[in-house]
Structure 1
Amino acid sequence: MKTKLLLGITIMALAACGSENEAATDERPADEAAPETAVEAAASPLVIEEAVLREHIATLSDDSFEGRAPGTPGGMKTRSYLAEAMAEAGLEPLEGSYEHMVTLVSRTLDPEASSVGFTLPSGERPLEYGPEAVFWTKRDDTSLSIEGSEVVFVGHGVVAPEYGWNDYEGIDAAGKTVVMLINDPGFRQQGEDFGGNAMTYYGRWTYKYEEAARQGAEAAIIIHQTEPAAYGWGVVEGSWSGPQLNLPRNPDETQPVALEGWVTLEVAEAMFDEAGLDFAELEEAATQAGFEPVAMEGVTFSADLAQTLEETESANVAGVLRGTEAPDEYILYTAHWDHLGMDQALIDAGEDGIYNGAVDNATGTAALLAIAEAWANSGVQPKRSHLFLAVTAEESGLLGSKAFASSPPVPLASMVGGLNIDAVLPAGESNDLTVVGFGASELEDVLTEVAGREGVTLSPDPSPQNGYFYRSDHIEFAKRGVPMLYVDGGTDLKEGGIQAGEQLASAYTTGPYHNPSDEYSEDWDLSGMVQLLEILAAVGFDLDQSGDDPNWYEGNEFRSIRDEQLAAAGR
């Protein structure tokens, strides 16, 4: 489950998965000049054929693909189609196969057999599953219980040494239930003490649960607030109920807390009041350095969970265009092929129950194939290798990209940099492109050079506080050091300007997004998509020809990881 789709404006979308605890830069420091690069000025010979792009989008979003859910006949059909298309484009398989298998574990909570609640000074306070609380476990138990766990408010639940910040300072969280705020201190400060307004990875709900596990907590509960979360309670209630896909637990990783969950703001405020605490005052205190966790006297938490577990398999699909001079150096292109599948209840009722995912993300998957075919048709032999990776289970939490990046078939240090393509709106050409996570890496210098040749400018993410940079597949490579670039179409359309671009984006996010109506149409204007993809392909071409090794900008949270990675590899 995810939040993405920046689409050039501030939008509300689903929460996304990523996995590690780092902070992001929103923009390059004002006193830092752009690094010089050896990018060649030669124009890219790579031409994106609109007919090719259109055919792939139409095919992948056809009803016969049944919404491309992992582990389903439609998902298997998608994988076969991608492998065949990669072979036809002249890509070689990695390690003898285009498919890289990913084992997925489906966990389904039984709400009727499960319960959670607080014991307050006034008595028992059970929570209603759905309207008041959503909870689950990522442990491989079919049932588990928590009895009378002490409750502690831990602010934002952040341990960030680079900011001198530790919300767990002075408390042993082992066996306790930690309750925390969503987002990070910078959101509420609106200042520079904690990364400024841009969300850091410390603001992601995934990080908060992981940190709670590292601290030894038994349960971790996030208090929902719409503005700092960037989505309403309905998204929480709808997205974390029903079957939830995860990767099998890595025994080398910290075991997750027994219970992860959310509660509504109303539930939290009442609980704080019962404990003799003022929620508003503590929320304000949690934005200041030196915040100390607060034990909620007289409040305990208990839970009984029952779930079923089922293993299924899916696959990432990868193909390589082998370089002639530096075949062991890879330029990476990523997009997720999966979507939400089918809703049989809607189909049984005679309604459209197929989530075709034409924009999300048949567009990005088709883009991978179109760029690969552009190379094949160019007559140019690449110097470096180009790795085209269509990942599975993004909609379930970036699982395919996490599986690939955590156990890559080629060393991470050999990945020069990557381009991520996710949910490109069909629109006319634009005067700008939107860079999600603007100011992160030197790949932006290459992009600036390439886009400038076409008279296209770069626009920063207009909603950095929502953390969109952490909500698509590229982040699984970024947090492991690989410089990644996530670029979306612009909003300043050549026909209609910013108003037209914003209207188009708003119409999609409030309509077809994650609905069966996300369908392909022959009427789509793909000129803007072709424009974006030719620029991205040209970035890959320039990286190929120049031999440059872009890094993260100084001050970025991933810079030290990359430096160590390259040093260890002797690069």
Structure 2
Amino acid sequence: MKFKFPLMLVLCGTLLFAGCSDQSKKQDDSLITGEEFTKHIAVLASDSLEGRKPFSTGEEKTINYLKTEFEKMGLLPGNGDSYFQKVPMVDIMSKPAGQLIFKNAKGSISLNYLDDFVAATRRVREQVSVQNSEMIFAGYGIVAPEYGWNDYDGLDVKGKTVVVLVNDPGFSDSTLFKGKTMTYYGRWTYKFEEAARQGATGVIIIHDTKPASYGWAVVRSGWSKSKLYLQAEDDNMSRAVMEGWITMESAKKLFTLAGVSDTLLAAAGKKGFRPVPLHVNSSITLNNTIKKSESNNVLALLPGTGKKDEYIIYSAHWDHFGKGEPIDGDSIYNGAADNASGTAALLELAHAFTQTKTKPSRSVVFLSVTAEEQGLLGSDYYASHPVYPVNKTVADINMDVLQPFGRMKDIIIVGKGQSELDEYAEQAAAEQGRTTRGEPDPSGGWYFRSDHFNFAKVGIPSMYIENGSVSVEHGEEWGEAQKKEYNDKRYHAPTDEYSSDWDLSGIVEDIRLLFDVGYRLSNETTFPGWKAGSEFKAIRDKSMGK
């Protein structure tokens, strides 16, 4: 196991701490050594937990492991007398009965499952069918009045299938929306939500690697397995019958059949674009295996010594994909980086807080949520069913994918510019001799891809950091290459596995930074806020009675 902490760094950290009269800002680095992290990730990323999929024996093993570790630390149950918060969900495995068919008077196209398309339904029915549904190209499928944009204006899509692009118009025109910084309107989840609001029977997203920020293999892998949804009173009958994706190659074949040019893809990003009927009908039948059950968020509490009714939340999702399509003979999706790493860091942080000489004034909650990989469901449920009052929750500090690339000179604040938590991270980074910056590719919509987003949606200031890119030992080009290798070869694949030769020095430094941010917040009397211009500021102001 590699840690690589030079003696000079340790001495400097000690001198900084010794020279700091405000004990609320920073604690001794010896509280976080990586030993706890190493112990926990070796278990969490092991084959014995079977990929940690909700509803599986892997879930039972995972959540009980977390509960036992919290108990060993002396932390209290975080939900009354329980360490668990039940999350009612439904597991649906949708399998096409055959091919996805596009047909008109000129001919037909038959697309193959996984290679050319993926499809599923949220409707809790053993079989659903879309037959001869008229198809319409609806641009980006966005209704955003604040940007003067409505792809559905004057369009009746009831009974029809809409075909839409991923991301938002700002990706190709920096003068639109937030330019290269993806808005929520660009997320695939939004596309499905809006199509359902408009009454569409089917919705198909055209995959494009650059605006999606991931390749078709990621879509294929994620949709080859069953999908989880929060249970709804109407059994999700208000959602579209079919939700899916097609490859860009398949989209071009569709346009050729429709007799329209693929220049429509560019035209969709121009103001004034109008939807285009394709005069093609789509048909598909989905057979569904349904299982209703409850998964679990796991949470533990360290009560504050003063302001016990104010809370700092550290969050990390414990789940991954379980077992899926075998790749090179390996069918267990261990999710070592994603997100055994964040969960192990959560346990290391919890241990550190229990070992502080001066305990925090505010209460600290350690929350490991379920079903992030299926659409941030565990954090969605917590945010809509909070155990601790939203207006008493100071901040959420989220951890998702900590990488073993060694120490970095920088750290990335995802969504930098949103909240005053930026300044907390900047101070903690400066004490480590590091710099902060925003994500290099904001068009990827990373701010909407992890659990902190659901806390933000209810107004709680939320922070999510990523590994920096400028390696202390190897430089920036090497650091970027490591990230690319992970995204290309290991992200959401069975190859995301833990190894005892991981260089944990950078992970340890990041955990220390997150500890310093949370410890400082836990001993203050003020609440950090959202910055002017943030879409979440008004929500927070209302919840705080401003």
When normalised by structure 1's length, the TM-score is 0.86
**Letter aligned with residue 82 of structure 1:** L
**Letter aligned with residue 538 of structure 1:** D
- Specify which of 236, 240, 251 is matched with residue 223 of structure 2: 240
- Specify which of 160, 164, 177 is matched with residue 180 of structure 1: 164
Q: Deviations over 1:361-414 (max 9, x none)?
A: 221111111111111111222111111111122222222222222222222222
Q: CA deviation at 1:352?
A: 4.8
- Structure 1 residue matching 2:477: 3-state secondary structure: helix
Are positions 1:537 and 2:515 aligned together? yes
Query: Take 1:237 and 1:520, find their aligned partners in 2: how far apart are those partners?
Result: 23
Are positions 1:205 and 2:205 aligned together? no
- Specify which of 138, 144, 158 is matched with residue 160 of structure 1: 144
Report the equivalent of 1:61.
Answer: 45
Query: Take 1:133 and 1:513, find their aligned partners in 2: how far apart are those partners?
Result: 20
**Letter aligned with residue 80 of structure 2:** E
1:65-104 paired onto structure 2 within 5 Å? 65-93=49-77, 94-104=79-89
- Specify which of 101, 115, 135 is matched with residue 151 of structure 1: 135
Q: CA deviation at 1:484?
A: 0.9
Alignment check: 8 A CA contact 2:222 2:492 kept = no
Report the equivalent of 1:381.
Answer: 359
Alignment check: 8 A CA contact 2:313 2:397 kept = yes
Q: Deviations over 1:121-171 (max 9, x none)?
A: 313434332332221111011122333332222110011111111111111
Q: Deviations over 1:414-439 (max 9, x none)?
A: 22111111111123222111112222
Are positions 1:291 and 2:269 aligned together? no
- Specify which of 449, 456, 461 is matched with residue 471 of structure 1: 449
Query: Take 1:214 and 1:227, find their aligned partners in 2: how far apart are those partners?
Result: 27
1:257-406 paired onto structure 2 within 5 Å? 257-280=240-263, 282-296=264-278, 298-342=279-323, 352-406=330-384
Query: Take 2:129 and 2:237, find their aligned partners in 1: how far apart are those partners?
Result: 20
Q: CA deviation at 1:479?
A: 1.9
Query: Take 2:431 and 2:153, find their aligned partners in 1: how far apart are those partners?
Result: 52
Are positions 1:485 and 2:460 aligned together? no
Q: CA deviation at 1:531?
A: 0.9
Q: CA deviation at 1:333?
A: 0.7
Report the equivalent of 1:35.
Answer: none
Query: Take 1:499 and 1:261, find their aligned partners in 2: how far apart are those partners?
Result: 36
Q: Deviations over 1:430-449 (max 9, x none)?
A: 21111122222111011112
Query: Take 2:528 and 2:306, find their aligned partners in 1: how far apart are those partners?
Result: 18
- After alignment, is 139-148 or 193-202 more displaced? 139-148
- Structure 1 residue matching 2:544: 3-state secondary structure: helix
**Letter aligned with residue 81 of structure 1:** Y
- Structure 2 residue matching 1:84: 3-state secondary structure: helix
Alignment check: 8 A CA contact 2:47 2:334 kept = yes
Query: Take 1:405 and 1:502, find their aligned partners in 2: how far apart are those partners?
Result: 34
Q: CA deviation at 1:114?
A: 4.4
Q: CA deviation at 1:43?
A: 2.7
Alignment check: 8 A CA contact 1:331 1:387 kept = yes
Change (3 A) 1:117 1:521: closer
Report the equivalent of 1:7.
Answer: none
Change (3 A) 1:425 1:267: closer
Query: Take 2:214 and 2:125, find their aligned partners in 1: how far apart are those partners?
Result: 30
Q: CA deviation at 1:250?
A: 4.5
Q: CA deviation at 1:456?
A: 1.2
**Letter aligned with residue 145 of structure 1:** S
Report the equivalent of 1:193.
Answer: 176
1:395-474 paired onto structure 2 within 5 Å? 395-474=373-452
Change (3 A) 1:510 1:275: closer
Query: Take 2:374 and 2:508, find their aligned partners in 1: how far apart are those partners?
Result: 28
Q: CA deviation at 1:360?
A: 2.0
Runs of 4+ in structure 1 over 6 Å off? none
Alignment check: 8 A CA contact 2:123 2:236 kept = no
Alignment check: 8 A CA contact 2:470 2:479 kept = yes
Change (3 A) 1:269 1:353: closer
Change (3 A) 1:142 1:433: same
Report the equivalent of 1:506.
Answer: 484
Query: Take 2:325 and 2:439, find their aligned partners in 1: how far apart are those partners?
Result: 37
Alignment check: 8 A CA contact 1:109 1:307 kept = yes
**Letter aligned with residue 95 of structure 1:** G
- Structure 1 residue matching 2:172: 3-state secondary structure: helix
Q: Deviations over 1:30-58 (max 9, x none)?
A: xxxxxxxxx98843346213212211122
Q: Deviations over 1:215-257 (max 9, x none)?
A: 1111111112222122222332332123222222244988111
**Letter aligned with residue 174 of structure 1:** K
Query: Take 2:237 and 2:271, find their aligned partners in 1: how far apart are those partners?
Result: 27
Report the equivalent of 1:256.
Answer: 239
**Letter aligned with residue 99 of structure 1:** F
Give the CA RMSD over aligned residues.
2.3
Query: Take 1:518 and 1:305, find their aligned partners in 2: how far apart are those partners?
Result: 31
Change (3 A) 1:147 1:343: closer
- Structure 1 residue matching 2:176: 3-state secondary structure: coil
Are positions 1:107 and 2:92 aligned together? yes
**Letter aligned with residue 109 of structure 1:** S
Query: Take 2:140 and 2:400, find their aligned partners in 1: how far apart are those partners?
Result: 29
- After alignment, is 241-250 or 215-224 more displaced? 241-250
Change (3 A) 1:143 1:209: same
Q: Name which structure has the greater RCO, CA cutoff 8 Å, separation 6+.
A: 1
Q: Deviations over 1:254-296 (max 9, x none)?
A: 811111111222332333344343231x223321223222223
Aligned length: 523
**Letter aligned with residue 92 of structure 2:** R
**Letter aligned with residue 98 of structure 1:** Y
Alignment check: 8 A CA contact 2:218 2:492 kept = no
- After alignment, is 207-216 or 481-490 more displaced? 481-490
Q: CA deviation at 1:563?
A: 1.8
